[in-house]
Amino acid sequence: MSVRNSRLRTAVTTTAAAAGSAGLLAGALYVVHAESGSGGREASLAGDARAGRRPAGSATAQLDGRAAATAARLAERLGDRTTGAYIDSAGRPVVTVTNATDAAAVRAAGAVPKTTRRSPAELRRVTAGLRSSFADIPGTGWAVDPATSKVTVWTDASVTGARMAAVRRTAARMGTAVRMVRFPGRLHTLALGGDAIFGQGARCSLGFNVQRGQQDFFLTAGHCGNAVQNWTADQQGGQPLGTTVQSSFPGNDFALVQVEDGAAGEGEINLYNGQSQDIAQAAEAVVGQRVARSGSTTGVHTGRVLATDATVNFAEGTVSGMIQTDVCAEPGDSGGPLFAGDTALGLTSGGSGDCQSGGVTFFQPVTEALQAFDAGVT
């Protein structure tokens, strides 16, 4: 697909400078004013090449994407009879099962069945217990690990004292079904993203261009949509892009922006090396899948999916159903696209760490946003 207007290439930026007017807790947000520079935008592709990492559009990633599609399709078909699916170290789709009949069906469909050590019902009880015990403690979260049949519980550096003791007590009650992980730094939303968009003194990211009916829209993060109503392609406000029409955060983290006439673009992602990546479809992410993220602060970085259906307790509120990755992100990357080859996967939400020391980043699944808005990628 070609870009009808380069101003709307799918990787714009969202603002945290307007966090105060949005009612967000400024201490948990990266607040970046519109006049701030967006240095480092071109650093990551070269860095990934030096580190031997393949871009998410490579042939290896395309094979990985097909394995992920198979795994996701089979996991959806099994529903409550599986604890999830993942891509193993050999690049094979693995689907957890609870009985021999399902194992045979998974094998016949070209995937590897793995009998789960804990039942899906048991793991659901564990996550329900976690939600009722410390969903109100910022800097915490959890997700089911299908490879180990355990629930990974994480805490960031802000969780200390009595709050940390409460988390540990709850985890101890769950026994060996829970694995504790400590994140350095603090979990926070990342206000900014790919190609810069501006509004009300702030800067954010456009995730993906979409259509609903015959009208053009784009997706960005919900914490961006909450803060900004009118978006422009320039800091001075002379190039209108669109208007936020729906926004959901916390709970979810997605927003829908209707674009101005003549400002619509096709579904391409800025790779910050003079090239772009076509987006032809949207899909669910799968644990172990190779992915890439584009953002205005750090350019393109790659990594793997660590978990799906993750719950994250930000200072601003809880967001559930998230994609967890080891792809780094920094202030300015919020709202930007997560993708694998030509497949849209998610919208950058928040995380911990940076692109010098590494980190963990969470993404809103794009499929949920498309369903909520009755829209499709263009």
DSSP-derived secondary structure for 4-72: S-GGG-S-EE--STTHHHHT--GGGS---BTTS--TTTTHHHHHHHHTTPPPTTSHHHHHHHHHHHHHH
Is 334 a known active-site residue?
yes
- Residue 37 amino acid letter: G
Residues 252 and 354 in one domain: yes
Inter-residue contact 1 to 211 (CB < 8 Å): no
Distances (CA, A) of 300 to 210, 230, 269, 296: 21, 27, 10, 9
Residues 173 and 218 in one domain: no
Residues 343 and 371 in one domain: yes
The per-residue pLDDT for 81 is 96
Give me the catalytic one of 48, 64, 102, 253. 253
The per-residue pLDDT for 57 is 53
Domain containing 132: what range?
Answer: 120-182
Q: Which CATH number do you get for residue 70?
A: 2.40.10.120
pTM score above 0.95: no
Residues 176 and 193 in one domain: no
Q: What is the pLDDT along the chain (378 residues), one digit of tens a residue?
A: 332 333 333 333 333 322 222 222 222 222 233 443 433 333 333 334 333 344 555 566 667 888 999 999 999 999 999 999 999 999 999 999 999 999 999 999 999 999 999 999 999 999 999 999 988 899 999 999 999 999 999 999 999 999 999 999 999 999 999 999 998 888 877 543 345 677 877 777 789 999 999 899 999 999 989 988 998 877 788 888 899 999 999 999 999 999 887 665 566 888 888 888 989 999 999 999 999 999 878 889 999 999 999 999 998 899 999 999 999 998 778 899 999 999 999 999 999 999 999 989 999 999 999 999 999 998
* Angle, alpha carbons 218-64-96 (nearest 5°): 100
Number of domains in the chain: 2
Give me the catalytic one of 156, 223, 247, 352. 223
The per-residue pLDDT for 135 is 82
Give the span between the Cα atoms of 240 and 229, in whole angstroms. 12
Residues 94 and 16 in one domain: yes
Residues 270 and 354 in one domain: yes
The per-residue pLDDT for 185 is 84
* Domain-located, residue 115: no
Q: Which CATH number do you get for residue 141?
A: 3.30.300.50
Cα–Cα nearest to 310, from 360, 238, 275: 360
Is 44 a known active-site residue?
no
Q: What is the token pair recorded at 210?
A: 């979409």
The per-residue pLDDT for 11 is 36
Give me the catalytic one of 334, 342, 349, 352. 334
